[in-house]
Structure 1
Amino acid sequence: MSLQISILTPERPFWNGQAEEIILPTETGEMGVLKNHAPIITGLDVGAMLIRTKEQWNSFAIMGGFAVVKKNQITILANEAESAESINPEEAQNAYESAKKNLETAEGVKQKVEANFSFKRAKARFQVVKVLNSGR
């Protein structure tokens, strides 16, 4: 038996399937989950999430949320999610570079917080496109 994964967003069920492994972007760093993992609830950060099925790696940009791991079932409640295939690589790279510049030049607390969120979002989208193109 492998892992049963369900990714839910406010708009719709985003992805359901079986996998051998998942790597989650948690608020304290990346966390890998294999079969028979200890039960856990964790907050998800904005970042790249990787799912390894028997055939391939799938990469998704997750925009925060929560994950529940229990009895080889993983339920992910994400604020927003995008698959690597749905992201334009050039657009993602341009958005990443632009967000990085905006973060470096941001002044004031509000502007820095907004620039940091935009940067994390753009970085996540760019990372999943790079993973897709590298054929991980």
Structure 2
Amino acid sequence: MSLEDTSVPVLTPDSPVMENTIGIDIGLKSFLTDDSGEQIAIPQHYRKAEKHLKRLQRSLSRKKKGSNRRQKAIKRVAKAHLKVSNTRKDFHYKTAKKLLSQQKHVAHEKLNIKGLAKSRLAKSVNDAGCGQFLQILSIKLLRTAH
């Protein structure tokens, strides 16, 4: 007679163990710290572009509503924000690729990103883009698994 419990997981050779798992800690002093102590700095794309964005938005605010020059100024501001967004996303993809190239399982802490984004650290949290990075990491992880 044999007894089988379906609630007990079956361990397979490719399941995560300590030797093939890498733990990451996402923070605001350094973007990412892995379990070996290696740190990746936060590039702060928004903070670096802030002066340029401020100038463009100030220029936009002086334009007369409904004018063609205002429309052009709106496009310039949008393009500057898009550039910040794209450079941040590029950094996230490259960092995720670097992590996944180690052929290890990745474990990370569960963060309350919405709560952090409403705190005093909102600008720093949004500039780091932790939520977007974790989303990209999980998507790339699923793609490599198949």
Identify the structure with bigger relative contact order (alpha carbons < 8 Å, sequence gap 6+).
2
Answer whether TM exceeds 0.5 for this pair.
Answer: no
Normalised to the residue count of structure 2, the TM-score between the two structures is: 0.29
Instruction: Tell me which structure has the larger Cα radius of gyration.
Output: 2
Question: Which structure has greater strand proportion?
Answer: 1
Question: Which structure has greater helix proportion?
Answer: 2
Normalised to the residue count of structure 1, the TM-score between the two structures is: 0.30
